[in-house]
Amino acid sequence: MSEKVIEIINLVKKFGNFVAVDNISLTIYSGEIFGLLGPNGSGKTTTLLTIATVYKPTSGDVRVYGYSVVSDGDKVRKIVGIAFQEPKALGIDKPYDLLLWHAKVVGYSGDEARKVVKDVMEDLGLWEHRNKYFYQLSGGTRKKVEIAKVLIQKPKVAIFDEPTAQVDVVSKHYLWDKIKELKEEGSTIIIATNDMFEAERMCERIAIVYKGKVKAIGTIKELKDFVPLGDTIELELASYADQHVLDILSRFGKVQGLGNKVLIYVNRGEEVAIDIIDTLRRSGVKIVRIMVKEPSLDDVFFYITGAKLKEEIS
Amino acid sequence: MIYMSSLLKDLRYILLLVQWDLTKIVRRVIFVAMRSTWFVIQVVFFGPVIAQMVNARGIGLDVSSYYNFYLLGIYTSILFTITASRAYDIAEEFEEGIIEYQLSLPMNRKILALGRAIGSGIASTLFTLPMFLTVIILTREFDLLAIAISIVSALIFSIAISGFVLTTTLSIKSSDATDIIMGVLDAILVRLSTIFYPAVILKNIAPYYYAAIINPLSHLADLLRIFYSFEEFKEIVVINPEAMASYILGLFIGFTVLAMYVIEKKIEGGGWR
């Protein structure tokens, strides 16, 4: 087992009577990309800002490499770097000046700071915007400036709060690659997102957060296995799927016949598919094609949170 | 990456925070231009007129001495107003998320508070420097030592007020409440002080006089007056020079320590109204 980097222990954060984070506990290990997945207002950002010591826990604690955010904030801040959801700058700031100042604060000397800032800005396509005022930049460019802070800092724990919101598709993929590079260089990464594709693409483990609580934690595969009968095996037979065939298949899961096609809803689809092939072969039923479809992360999210679309919108 | 002792690191953070405030000076140019215009009107038009109207001889001054008295009062008043206006900058920084960003930076919160208070104090003092030079020219007092000590006193005073402003604004977390508190403080402190009226006159109105004695603006204004015209003003200032200097120093230590304590122990992101 890898080293524990972050331990969130019974974390509660209230703002007045509103409970933003409701008794969350989880552990994040060294070198992983961990995702907090949930809708807006679910408590992801509050959790991240508590890890970064920007918020103080109402109760509970967060330990980063063993240091408590409550009593060892200075030590935690030397380990953690955060790219905020909303880029933090004044309208009169210029990206180069802002990043140069940040580079010096996180420990680079003058010459080193100028070099690393130039390198990162060129890498992210920000160099041409270096002397523009922040208010003149597009939302996506502002977001890149925010992410550049963490790429410059290269912290042991790098936090990205919705890193690709407002970013165009090409840049989005490039930023994902940069975040993965940061991981390869030794950082542990935490990403908060409400983008299922981003979560699936980037994260090795995910915590599904909903209404301030962690509803489930696991790898993508583990989470998908949470959904009962979530995998769909689609069979195409050489002949019409009569009642006899449907009866044979019904012991594997819920069955739906559609002419010479059969849909079987099962758990652990890959394993069951082998049994199905074997069973049908022994029964003399010829299979033309077989396909296993996993549930999407959306399906997992809706199943685990029990949320209804209507409820989400309201 | 550079590696240095903890003390040097903290000093470097303070310098970077001072740099932060100085590079943001540009956003206050219009406000300072307005206050500068107000200052010019005060010293060119109202000052001479008031000096003629006041019976300065009744308190042992002549007309030109009262004009000098008035100039240093006006300077103190504008230094306070410009420093207190930092509250609006801090409010804007909170709304734009800058405070949350700075709270996440790898530095001790006490150092963050100290650096921001010093940076804010230096920025405010720099803004008023042209006005201070105008006062020197108008009073025709060119004693370099007095000028240097006055600027240092003004800076210490400004850092102290910045510490107070930082603590107050970050604690109340409300733009409206900040507006009200700073407006009321400015109105009360400028009036209940020796900015315009010597302590010797205020003695006739006890509550006014006691308010002026504990008012930091009285102490800075009278300290500056002493630096420039010791003999002339020594009988009419609020208290002896050593006590005034101690008061300003105490204010500096008290408010910066308060800011350091509050920002380390109490302040967190979010909750701005």
Same domain, A261 and A167: no
Same domain, A146 and A92: yes
Same domain, A198 and A256: no
Confidence of residue B206 (pLDDT cuts 50, 70, 90): confident
Same domain, A185 and A220: yes
Whole-number Å distance between alpha carbons of A29 and A275: 36
Backbone dihedral region of A256: left (phi > 0), alpha (psi from -120 to 50 degrees) or beta? beta
Residue B87 confidence (pLDDT) above 70: yes
pLDDT at residue A307, rounded to an integer: 56
Tokens 């231009």 correspond to what residue? B33
Summarised one tens digit per residue, pLDDT across range A265-302 is 888 888 889 999 999 989 888 999 999 988 888 888 88
Amino acid at residue number B66? Y
* Alpha carbon A307 to its chain's center: 19
DSSP letters for B237-256? SSS-HHHHHHHHHHHHHHHH
Contacts with B, A 102-131, CB within 8 Å: 104-109, 112
pLDDT at residue A254, rounded to an integer: 86
Summarised one tens digit per residue, pLDDT across range A93-143 is 999 999 999 999 999 999 999 999 999 999 999 999 999 999 999 999 999
Tokens 């998320």 correspond to what residue? B97
Same domain, A28 and A154: yes
B124 neighbors B162 (Cβ within 8 angstroms): yes
Whole-number Å distance between alpha carbons of B198 and B61: 11
Summarised one tens digit per residue, pLDDT across range B244-254 is 999 999 999 99
Shortest CB distance from B271 goes to which of A15, A53, A80? A15
Judge: B106–A78 Cβ closer than 8 Å, yes or no: yes
Judge: A54–B96 Cβ closer than 8 Å, yes or no: no
Same domain, A80 and A215: yes
Structure tokens at A42: 């679910």
Using CA atoms, how far residue B168 sits from A47, A103, A310, in Å, is 27, 30, 43
Residue B18 confidence (pLDDT) above 60: yes
Same domain, A82 and A15: yes
CATH of the domain at A38: 3.40.50.300
Confidence of residue A174 (pLDDT cuts 50, 70, 90): very high
pLDDT at residue B55, rounded to an integer: 73
Q: What sign results for the dihedral spanned by CA atoms A85, A86, A90, A95?
A: positive
CATH of the domain at A283: 3.30.70.2470
Same domain, A131 and A94: yes
Mean pLDDT throughout B156-171? Answer: 94
Do the domain assignments include residue A304?
A: no
Same domain, A218 and A235: no
Residue B159 confidence (pLDDT) above 60: yes
Same domain, A170 and A64: yes
B253 neighbors B75 (Cβ within 8 angstroms): no
pLDDT at residue B75, rounded to an integer: 95
Mean pLDDT throughout B137-147? Answer: 88
Same domain, A144 and A280: no
pLDDT at residue A89, rounded to an integer: 93
Same domain, A83 and A154: yes
Do the domain assignments include residue A185?
A: yes
A126 class by beta-carbon count within 10 Å (0-12 exposed, 13-18 middle, 19+ buried): buried
CA dihedral A45, A51, A54, A55 (to 10 degrees): 70
Do the domain assignments include residue A72?
A: yes
pLDDT at residue A310, rounded to an integer: 46
Shortest CB distance from B96 goes to which of A52, A55, A88? A88
Confidence of residue A311 (pLDDT cuts 50, 70, 90): low
Instruction: Give the nearest chain A residue to B107 (CA atoms).
Output: A74
The mean pLDDT of chain A is 92
Do the domain assignments include residue A271?
A: yes
Distance from CA of B3 to the nearest CA of A (A): 8
Do the domain assignments include residue A126?
A: yes
Do the domain assignments include residue A306?
A: no
ipTM of the complex: 0.88
Shortest CB distance from A84 goes to which of B20, B26, B97? B97
Count of residues for chain B?
A: 273
Last residue of a domain, one of A173, A205, A224: A224
Worst-scoring range by mean pLDDT, A127-136, B13-22, B208-217, B263-272?
B263-272
A28 neighbors A34 (Cβ within 8 angstroms): yes
Chosen from B23, B101, B174, B260 to mutate, greatest number of chain A CBs within 10 A? B101
Percent of chain B having pLDDT more than 70?
98
Whole-number Å distance between alpha carbons of A283 and B251: 93
Range of the domain at A70: 4-224
Distance from CA of A161 to the nearest CA of B (A): 13
pLDDT at residue A231, rounded to an integer: 84
Domain ranges of chain B: 10-265
The enclosing H or E element of A266 equals strand A261-266
Do the domain assignments include residue A309?
A: no
Summarised one tens digit per residue, pLDDT across range B231-240 is 777 777 777 8
Structure tokens at B98: 């800058």
Query: Of the candidates B41, B29, B28, B131, which has an alpha carbon nearest to the alpha carbon of residue B78?
Result: B131
Number of domains in chain A: 2
Q: What is the 3-state secondary structure (H, E, C) of B175-202?
A: HHHHHHHHHHHHHHHHHCCCCCCCHHHH
Do the domain assignments include residue A307?
A: no
Whole-number Å distance between alpha carbons of A9 and A44: 15
* Dihedrals phi, psi of A193, to nearest 5 degrees: -155, 155
Distance from CA of A18 to the nearest CA of B (A): 12
Residue B121 confidence (pLDDT) above 60: yes
* Alpha carbon B143 to its chain's center: 22
pLDDT at residue A309, rounded to an integer: 47
* Alpha carbon A56 to its chain's center: 23
Shortest CB distance from B97 goes to which of A53, A55, A88? A88
Residue A217 confidence (pLDDT) above 90: yes
Worst-scoring range by mean pLDDT, B45-49, B167-171, B199-203?
B199-203
Instruction: Give the nearest chain B residue to A105 (CA atoms).
Output: B13
